Amino acid sequence: IGSLMGKWLTIERGMGLVNVSGFVSILAACCFGETLPRSHRLSREETALVQIWRPDIALRILISNTLFRRLSVIVFFSTLPMAGSQQCFLMFLEAAFGFDRVKCSGFIVVLAVCGLVIQMLVLPTLIPAVGVSKTLLIGLVLQLVQNLLLTFVHTPTSVLVSCIFGGFGTMIFPCVAALKSAAAGEQEQGRVQGAVSALQSSTMGVGPVVYGAVFAWTLGDGVPGGHPRPSATFMLSVVALVIAIAFASTIEKYVPEECKHTRPPSVRRSVSLLRRLSRTLSGTSLQEGSSPGPACTDSECGSPVAADLSGSGVTTGGASAVDCGRACSD
């Protein structure tokens, strides 16, 4: 949406739109509530024993076993070309084809729409069919195809096709997060996801620096051949993705059997986000120690509706009140 609106929005209005969307996101996060029941949270005594606030200790989980070490390498070498491409792609289109901002935005829209469609339709279908680790490998291979097209085929049509293949790169991080979440213990979910996100964010910062320097070199006088080769920048992505694919092809034997077809866990809530928002704006909130009401059972479907733990809006099992067609009090 941002790429599509960028054709008409000025910089000031674009920044205003970013600020509004950021405020709405923060407000929604505050209203969403805690997803982890109190009975599953670490006590202060437990957190005092493990100094998880120290980065060197918190990030140590990334190298705690063979699977996590290989997945960390995959995250680094798959995020690096993604971050670098975001930095250089528009400049590449301008230098190689002379496109203006409007034409460049069209390619970004194709890339974004393909990524959205793949995340919503392809990813949920592919994981149950072939498994998480193979889905991860497919995403890496297709991202490699994208960068091979950008490196060796120099036509606007090839750039358009590469954007379609680039949409499959959005499958990589969800697969890595799902594998690490399924392989980690229940008490380490926050730590492992935080460590993976920290590694990804660090790589997102390194990528533009590396790719910016390489792109500037490919446009200078010192480039082999004596004339600018902006497409040579994506050769760096090819090398990085080959390394990621080599590691991804070996993780299948390290993935526990029960985790091979897993999906990212979904949370079922008995309290809607709109109700939480209205309570926040009116000055009232759900108390964590309050009792949301007894569990109920639908006589027709026979599915128990589990009580909400700690007033967090998370049901622990069975069907929700909506599933059973009945209304339960908060």
pLDDT of residue 321: 37
Which residue, 282, 267, 271, 268, is CA-closest to 329?
271
Least Cα distance to 271 among 253, 255, 284, 252 occurs for 284
Residue 52, pLDDT score? 58
Mean of pLDDT values over 279-295:
48
What is the pLDDT, as a whole number, of residue 53? Answer: 61
pLDDT at 238 over 90: yes
Q: Model's pTM, two decimal places?
A: 0.68
Integer angstrom CA distances of residue 276 from 22, 81, 271, 291: 18, 40, 7, 16
Is the pLDDT at 157 greater than 70? The verdict is yes
Q: How many CB atoms lie within 10 A of CB 28?
A: 12
| pLDDT for 294 | 45
Task: For the chain, count helices (H), then strands (E).
Answer: 14, 2
Residue partners of 149: CB distance under 8 A and separation at least 6: 158, 159, 161, 162, 165
Mean pLDDT within 256-270:
55
pLDDT of 107 over the 90 cut: no
Task: Measure Cα distances from 241 to 15, 63, 178, 251 in Å.
Answer: 33, 21, 20, 16
Determine the pLDDT at residue 97: 87
pLDDT given for residue 261 in this prediction: 58
Task: Work out the burial of residue 62: count CB atoms within 10 Å of its CB; fewer than 13 is exposed, 13-18 middle, 19 or more buried.
Answer: buried
Q: Is the pLDDT of residue 144 over 90?
A: yes
User: What residues pair up with 297 in beta bridges, in sequence order?
Assistant: 304
Rounded mean pLDDT of 181-194? 77
Q: What is the pLDDT of residue 149?
A: 93
Average pLDDT of the chain is 75
According to DSSP, residue 254 is labeled: G
pLDDT tops 60 at residue 283: no
pLDDT band for position 49 (cuts 50, 70, 90): low
What confidence tier does 61 reach under pLDDT thresholds 50, 70, 90? confident
In this prediction, residue 236 carries a pLDDT of 92
Residue 257's CB: how many other CB atoms inside 10 A?
6
Rounded to 10 deg, the angle between the 172-183 and 123-130 helix axes is 50
- pLDDT for position 325: 38
Q: What's the pLDDT score for residue 244?
A: 94
The predicted model gives 175-199 an average pLDDT of 81
